[in-house]
Structure 1
């Protein structure tokens, strides 16, 4: 978000380097008496600044989750929204929260999700950790994704694990989509499914993780 704001030259609204100009022309004591019965016109600079700031507030709001929006309700400027988000969401980072996010990432399972939905959940969890400074190489993401697949994908898992070179996430996604089509078209026979499941359970018991 900072890169986007800086790239468009509007970060000054957020960090205060482009402050709001005066709303009215500076007046002397005598001129104040003259304007007592009349509405004082707002300066054009103030109107333009407020217009841009309101647009920025809309942009920030559009990027927030429903839970994060609750923290910025009532904000009068984009800078106030930014400060509230920093204080309420991004600053209270603890070791416990990082461990919790890591645990959630490792425990993601495909379940009934499509391949694209499943990988999107993994990528979103990885990105949430990267915001906190915790990064994962692509190889680890592939391993996490393989672990979360059901037994129908065991052959595919073996093929990927047997590769000498690290597969890119793009190629991994493409090959998974192909495997998904095959699995959906050719269901596993009941007796074979029972054998594979029993073998998998035994493998987990012996080695902890396959």
Structure 2
């Protein structure tokens, strides 16, 4: 499975080999840091943080008409997003997968995981600081 960015073609399998952590209850900060910087390195994190939004699905013919044909740019964006969603899912523990079931795009999965695990990580940090 391959994805492409504006500058290069990237194989998801190659990216998966660079992400050594699987998301579990106790490592969200480390996992998200690693995933973010691997994806930033290939200029494809935009699917997660919304800096790379989907192009128009249908071509606009004129001010009144829109074609029913899906644009090539939209198809390419969806293929890349699906590949990134697959990559994200491949880095999850069995327990973490339940939080992305039903998501259709990488951004929604990222937000769901962030909502679930970021608060746990912050609470854990505060607890450890209190113990010290």
Normalised TM-score (structure 2): 0.63
Larger Rg computed on CA atoms:
1
**Which structure carries more helix by proportion?**
1
Deviations 1:48-97 (A, max 9, x none): 00000000000000000011000011111101111110001123331488
Return the offset for 1:45. 0.1
SS for the counterpart of 2:60 is coil
Return the offset for 1:19. 0.4
Among residues 86, 95, 105, which one is paired with 1:67 in the alignment?
A: 95
Among residues 69, 78, 82, which one is paired with 1:54 in the alignment?
A: 82
**Which structure carries more strand by proportion?**
2
Alpha-carbon spacing, 1:98–1:8, altered in 2? closer, same or farther (3 Å): farther
Among residues 26, 35, 55, which one is paired with 1:21 in the alignment?
A: 55
Alpha-carbon spacing, 1:6–1:96, altered in 2? closer, same or farther (3 Å): closer
Among residues 94, 107, 122, which one is paired with 2:123 in the alignment?
A: 94
Query: Following superposition of structure 1 onto structure 2, how do residues 7-156 of structure 1 map, counting pairs within 5 Å?
Result: 7-27=41-61, 28-29=63-64, 31=65, 40-92=68-120, 93-95=122-124, 98-99=127-128
Normalised TM-score (structure 1): 0.41
Aligned residues: 93
| 1-structure distance, mates of 2:125, 2:90 | 29
Question: In angstroms, what is the RMSD of aligned CA positions?
Answer: 2.2
Among residues 36, 45, 51, which one is paired with 1:2 in the alignment?
A: 36
Unaligned runs of 5+ in 2: 1-34
Structure number with greater CO (CA < 8 Å, separation at least 6) is 2
Tell which deviates more after alignment, 83-92 or 45-54.
83-92
